[in-house]
Amino acid sequence: MGRKGIANKVAVIGCDSSKYGELFDKSQYDLLFESTHGALKDAGIVKDDIDAAWVGIFYYFTGLSGSTVEDILRLDGKPVTRTENFCASGMDAFRNACFGVASGAYDVVLACGVEKLTDEGSSRLPGFKLFGHPVLPMPSAPAMFSMAATRCFHEFGWTKEDLARVAVKNHSNGAKHPKAHFRSEISIEQAVRAPMIADPLGRFDCCAMSDGAASLILTSVENAPSYAHADDYVVVKSNAIANYTNFPWYVPPGAVGSDFTYFPATVKAREMAYKEAGITNPRQQIDLAEVHDCFTITELINCQDLQFCDRGKAAEELKNGTFNWDGETAVNPSGGLKSFGHPIGSTGCRMLQEVTKQIQGRAEGRQVPDAKIGLGHNLGGAFSVCSVSILGQSD
Amino acid sequence: MIGKAWDFPVIPGTKSIASADEDSITMGVEAGLDCLTGIDPKSIDGLFFATTTQVYTEKDSASLVATVLDLREDIITSDFTDSLKSGTTAITRAVDTIKANKDIKSILVIASDTRVPEPSTMWEYGFSDGAAAFLIADEETIPVSIDDYYSVSANVIGPWKRTGKDKFIRTFEVKMDAKFYIENLTKVMSELLKRNDLQPEDIGGAAYYYNNPRLHGRIAKTMKFGQGVAQNSVWFQLGDLGTPMSFLLLIAALRRPKPDAKIILAGYGDGADGILLQIRDKAKLKEIGKDRMGIAAHQKTMITLKNYNWYLENKELLEKDRYDRKSSAVLIWRDTDSVYKMYGIKCKECGTVQYPCNFRSCYKCRADDQFEKVKLALKGTIFTYTLDHLVGGAYLDTPVPRCVIDLDGGGRILLNMTEIQNPEENVKIGMRVELTFRKAHESANFVNYYWKCRPERGRK
């Protein structure tokens, strides 16, 4: 009984992402078509080589069911499953696709994600009134995460400036990436002075509304050498997902997740993923991480939950350059959700195609020097669900 | 502010206005909570609710207020409405009901109104919002007795409000209104004196409805009440509160009564009620007053309106699209224990109190189906919070503090904060808050109520 995992069984043989941004002239069909055909081309295969697909989509208006992918790719009856696990929908699609290969059920599978947010207006996450209860409060995403920020300020003494440094770093990284939504550097002062969204989180502490898609082609490690990336295919070392409550504000004191200074889903997924991949010293072993910086506070907490630094020290380590693209553990060299964008269902796949390209030494923006092991971290809901995947070079 | 808004002659004084998230039901709950301080709600046998500003015209308020106050189900509830005297009428009916039924020993009578005056009329100087409650019971130990009442009925010509057609009250001739008012009120009070062989000088306090300080004085003069007998403290401070007006005047009269004083409570509206009360135990009355917020503690919490536009927006007197939320009468009904009565659950395995009641597995020890329902405290301490600048697309009264609160005695909950000034400076981790029942939204043409928190005011 228990978790056997899929370490070293599945390989990424092709990947791509669309441009991210406010893409009013493109539909979800265009975006997923572009990223998937990019990934197929990267793998040197055609769409009919795909045996099955999993797609991460969060919002019903982006597309219901796996048939959304059929309507984009015309796969002639191939099985497609839509995964929804809040903002971790994309990485959960990847996880399920891995199982499809590792189980031996399929040879070649597609893991992809897409979200078309701006068709519903670009000012805020749409549709919140459709969720949940008529009167029990359902805070906005910034409000949820700012409750953690308030608590971290109280416990660790962090400040608005500490948060701003996350935004400054990620904007600086994203400015170099041709596919990022925001491609300009910002200053600490700019970030600190921005209008407040959910105190203490201001405009530059929150990721924006973006459209985008990302796709990865997977096959077994045995079969990987027969595709285009025969020499530099990337191996899935582990993936793990953990779910806790949708309502952290009801977790009674003393129960797991009641203190709002760490995310129990991340801790749990990290434990599973590190064990499976044999990670014992993440700060040294992991060269780069694409982590879920939906808000600046989230990235600081992630760095602690993923053990890139000690609890309470993330702000200081960030200030010292530990998480810079050329630092000890590069965090979000792509620019992260903050600068690259966060089309919800696509983000997990976008992170993993970024990690893949970093490990292959062909990152489109900042290339982390000598990257061998990379991590993707996708966090969703009210810190309810977390997916951690670790990719590495083939031996 | 009203004078400034319309370039009217300015009249001194203040009046109380309900917040945007209050209506006659929520204010009634607030008055009921204060009244029932230290009294087991399960011991009450009935609830009468008096108002002219019904939230629904079909669907009563008394049963909802009784539910929120956590009264029993086998009680009598009724709304008294359509007349400004319905508060005093409800008291007389409560007296009769208790006298006539051996199983009904106590009835909570709540009067509550939110009469919105027509903007740019002189009514704006008077009309205000408020609620008050009395617990009427058949017990020798009660410090004030109701000794007699006398009522008249009169089909007067004004004012009126047509169902579904008039948003504001209408009247034909205010001088005629005043004539009816004086005639009816003096008639019931005079008759009450006569029936009980009393002279005006025997009356130690008179709490009768008035909507105009000049008319109040004329009645006192006509009745030959002594100096300071007729309570007139309310109008210039709180305004014309409507149905609860005479209740508040009585509460004021009971603050510093002479021992053994006789007090008249009188309500007016299409007739009048006069009720004769007798102070039995001054010391005990004082004690009751001490445990409750009463008028003074509530008055202290009044916040000055920022400007007249704020008032227009919060009373929804401006037409505009407003944010819509999900609505489900079924969900509200099924979750009544959690969302109205503020019950939580306690794990029999580990003892942890949690909220809401829907869960079947313990947050802490993960035991399944080991919960018992428990009443949660309406007070707590902020554990963490955010100040939300984008609540439901609202730009007025933002930021809204959204607070994770540890309730006294257990249970963690998320509530919006209402009636907080300068939240950036005043909301803090560790801050003490009280729960208050408020209107959440009216999506799907159904009024959705829920609790909010507010800075601690001293409700016990």
Quick: pLDDT tens for B224-236: 999 999 999 889 9
Residue B324 has pLDDT above 80, yes or no: no
Residue B395: the pLDDT is 63
Do A239 and A259 have their domain in common? Answer: yes
Hey, of B321, B336, B386, B450, which one would you mutate to test binding to chain A, going by the most A CBs within 10 A of its CB? B386
Do A387 and A337 have their domain in common? Answer: yes
Do A353 and A251 have their domain in common? Answer: yes
pLDDT single digits (tens) A156-204: 999 999 999 999 999 999 999 999 999 999 999 999 999 999 999 999 9
Cβ proximity of B148 and B48 under 8 Å:
no
Do A144 and A244 have their domain in common? Answer: yes
Whole-prediction pTM: 0.95
Do A154 and A283 have their domain in common? Answer: yes
Domain CATH for A354:
3.40.47.10
Exactly one of A177, A229, A342, A377 is catalytic; name it.
Answer: A342
Residue B392: the pLDDT is 63
Domain extent at residue A16:
10-118+211-226
pLDDT single digits (tens) B289-308: 999 999 999 999 999 888 89
Residue B327: its chain A contacts at CB < 8 A? 134
Do A65 and A183 have their domain in common? Answer: no
Domain count, chain A: 2
Residue with tokens 């300068």, as numbered in its chain: B422
Residue B366: the pLDDT is 97
- Chain B, nearest residue to A258 by Cα: B412
Does A168 reside within a domain? yes
Residue B200: the pLDDT is 95
A37 catalytic? Reply is no
Cβ neighbours for B377, distance < 8 A, ≥ 6 positions apart = B407, B408, B409, B411
- Chain A, nearest residue to B364 by Cα: A255
- Chain B, nearest residue to A124 by Cα: B390
Residue A1: the pLDDT is 55
Residue B167 has pLDDT above 80, yes or no: yes
- Chain B, nearest residue to A145 by Cα: B386
- Chain B, nearest residue to A129 by Cα: B325
The two structure tokens encoding residue A151: 């608590």
Cβ neighbours for A51, distance < 8 A, ≥ 6 positions apart = A78, A100, A106, A107, A108, A109
Q: CB distance A136–B328 less than 8 Å?
A: no
> In percent, how much of chain B has pLDDT > 70?
99
Q: CB distance A199–B389 less than 8 Å?
A: yes
pLDDT single digits (tens) A260-269: 999 999 999 9
pLDDT single digits (tens) B386-396: 999 987 656 66
Continuous H helices in B196-344: 213-223, 235-238, 245-253, 282-291, 294-300, 308-314, 329-334, 336-339
Does A128 reside within a domain? no
Hey, of A120, A128, A130, A136, which one would you mutate to test binding to chain B, going by the most B CBs within 10 A of its CB? A136
Instruction: Kindly state the average pLDDT of the residues B445-456.
Output: 94
Do A86 and A44 have their domain in common? Answer: yes
Residue B458: the pLDDT is 87
Nearest to A250 among B325, B355, B385 (CB): B355
Does A129 reside within a domain? no
Nearest to A134 among B331, B363, B424 (CB): B331
Does A58 reside within a domain? yes
Do A42 and A99 have their domain in common? Answer: yes
B381 touches chain A (CB under 8 A): no
Low-confidence ranges of chain A (pLDDT < 70): 1, 127-130
The two structure tokens encoding residue B23: 């209506």
Going from N- to C-terminal start, the domains of chain B cover 2-314, 329-455
Do A288 and A170 have their domain in common? Answer: yes
Interface of B with A in 420-449 (CB under 8 A): 424, 429, 440-441, 443, 448-449
Does A4 reside within a domain? no
Could you report how far apart the first and last alpha carbons of chain B are, in Å?
A: 34
Instruction: Kindly state the average pLDDT of the residues B377-394.
Output: 89
Do A192 and A110 have their domain in common? Answer: no
CA–CA dist A145, A140 (Å, integer): 9
Does A124 reside within a domain? no
CA–CA dist B29, A17 (Å, integer): 56
Among A251-265, B367-381, B437-451, the range scoring the smallest mean pLDDT is B437-451
φ, ψ of residue A55 to 5 degrees: the values are -125, 130
Do A182 and A114 have their domain in common? Answer: no
The superfamily (CATH) of domain B2-314 is Thiolase/Chalcone synthase (3.40.47.10)
Residue A85: the pLDDT is 97
CA–CA dist A172, A176 (Å, integer): 7
Residue A129: the pLDDT is 64
Split at pLDDT 50, 70, 90, the class of B10 is: confident
> In percent, how much of chain B has pLDDT > 90?
80
Does A134 reside within a domain? no
Does A17 reside within a domain? yes
CA–CA dist B222, A377 (Å, integer): 82
The two structure tokens encoding residue B85: 């005297």
Q: How far is B69 from chain A (nearest CA, A)?
A: 18
pLDDT single digits (tens) B111-140: 999 999 999 998 999 999 999 999 999 988
Split at pLDDT 50, 70, 90, the class of B80 is: very high
**Which residues of A touch chain B, with CB atoms under 8 Å apart?**
124, 129-137, 139-140, 142-143, 146-151, 154, 195-201, 245, 247, 249-255, 258, 260
Residue A130: the pLDDT is 66
Residue A249: its chain B contacts at CB < 8 A? 404, 412-414
A171 catalytic? Reply is no
Do A143 and A100 have their domain in common? Answer: no
Cβ neighbours for B17, distance < 8 A, ≥ 6 positions apart = B128, B129, B305, B311
Q: CB distance B390–A146 less than 8 Å?
A: no
Q: What SS3 state is found at B273?
A: strand
Instruction: Kindly state the average pLDDT of the residues B432-445.
Output: 93
